[in-house]
Amino acid sequence: MRVLVTGGAGYIGTHTLIELIAAGHEPLVVDSFANSVPEALVRTGELVQRTIPFAECDVRERAALRAICADFNPEAVIHFAGLKAVGESEERPRDYYDVNVSGTLNLLAALEGTACKRIVFSSSATVYGVPQYLPYDEAHPCAPASVYAKTKHMAENILTDWQCANPQTAVTVLRYFNPVGAHGSARIGEDPQGIPNNLMPFIAQVAVGRRDRLMVFGDDYDTPDGTGVRDYIHVSDLARAHVAALGAAQTGTEVFNIGTGTGYSVLDMIGAFEKAAGCSIPYRITGRRAGDIAAMQADASRAADLLGWRAELGLAQMCASTWHWQRANPQGYNGE
């Protein structure tokens, strides 16, 4: 299939391109490079031994996006492009609504008149909000707490309503849990700009000597060791879920949790990373981070039942691949 991949130069996008091409799809990337670099696409191309076609375009640029869609005539879209930092979303709400919500509306407008019948949307488990029960299943009520979470939930609703009005189309919403890890080649991986917000890239930067120590945000949660518990998923497993979604039901809207179903605490993650990297990760316990919840975990059985997808890579592979990427690229893509 001809697949338009918005935000394809990013962390999850590049890993997904590898799986898409392996499955015989023809991607075209659209990326503004606001939070990614062209080098990531060059390296992805090396891994699949072909040039990855891309157009530099922000999803807010309606006319440019329309021209790209008219020319490429996609049969499907995987919509990754968006802003994703929770803290920043509270400081810059207008940007988040603009990129994540208006960007999605622009995409739908740009797709009018094309062959596109299928959209796979990059959403987040953050749309559930404070858990009423765990593991979250897809029927768990959505109560998005941050601006970021609200924009993702709005985009889900926009796509669902678009699908209803266009019954010959299919929308697949993938709610990611906590993506970590890197491609086994260590050529592509997560490369956050500035101070990492997320646990795994922070640990990796401590291990490689870019930062002195990790701050553990709270050890007084109601969890086995008091630190926050999350469902970490290897980015290559997550990438495969997108390919599975392209082959899912031909019409209708479907929502899937994409996680492993297993939770690990912050201290579990430190221990597993130390083992993978063969070094110690200095850390200090500090206060809770505003907005954090104690634990979250996926019930991923729906994706297994309906998409035939399940996570295959465990914690050791998540940590080892992150370490290999970070060690080979201590400054991320900037090293080249």
For residue 199, the minimal CB distance to ligand UD1 (Å) is 4
Q: Are 7 and 81 in contact (CB under 8 A)?
A: yes
Residue 148 is among the residues annotated as catalytic for this protein: yes
For residue 292, the minimal CB distance to ligand UD1 (Å) is 5
Which of 96, 136, 148, 232 is catalytic? The answer is: 148
Nearer Cβ to ligand UD1 (76/276)? 276
Task: Tell me how long the chain is.
Answer: 336
Q: Which are the contacts of 230, defined by CB distance < 8 A and separation ≥ 6?
A: 177, 178, 199, 263, 264, 295, 296, 297
For residue 240, the minimal CB distance to ligand UD1 (Å) is 18
Segment near ligand UD1 (CB under 6 A); pick from 17-25, 90-98, 103-111, 285-293:
285-293
Residue 211 lies near ligand UD1 (rule: CB under 6 A):
no
For residues 137 and 139, give the distance between their C-alpha atoms in angstroms, rounded to a whole number. Answer: 5
For residue 116, the minimal CB distance to ligand UD1 (Å) is 26
Residue type, 65: L
Segment near ligand UD1 (CB under 6 A); pick from 9-17, 193-201, 243-251, 302-310:
193-201
Residue 262 lies near ligand UD1 (rule: CB under 6 A):
no
Q: Which residue is nearest to ligand UD1 (CB)?
A: 228
Among 234, 241, 218, smallest CA distance to 294 is for 218
For residues 189 and 185, give the distance between their C-alpha atoms in angstroms, rounded to a whole number. Answer: 10
Other beta carbons less than 10 A from residue 296's beta carbon: 22
Candidate list 215, 249, 304, 316; residue touching ligand UD1; CB under 6 A: 215
Residue 326 lies near ligand UD1 (rule: CB under 6 A):
no
φ, ψ for residue 273 (rounded to 5)?
Answer: -70, -40
For residues 310 and 312, give the distance between their C-alpha atoms in angstroms, rounded to a whole number. Answer: 6
DSSP secondary structure letter of residue 76: E
Among 222, 252, 257, 221, smallest CA distance to 238 is for 257
Residue 307 lies near ligand UD1 (rule: CB under 6 A):
no
Residue 178 lies near ligand UD1 (rule: CB under 6 A):
yes
Q: How many residues bind ligand UD1 (CB under 6 A)?
A: 20
Tell me the DSSP string of 203-256. Answer: HHHHHTTSSS-EEEE-S-SSSTTSS-EE-EEEHHHHHHHHHHHHTS-SSEEEEE
Residue 116 lies near ligand UD1 (rule: CB under 6 A):
no
Site for ligand UD1 in 147-166 (CB under 6 A): 148
Site for ligand UD1 in 49-108 (CB under 6 A): 86
Active site residues: 148
Q: List residues binding ligand UD1 (CB under 6 A).
A: 86, 124, 126, 148, 178-179, 197-199, 202, 214-217, 228, 230, 266, 289, 291-292
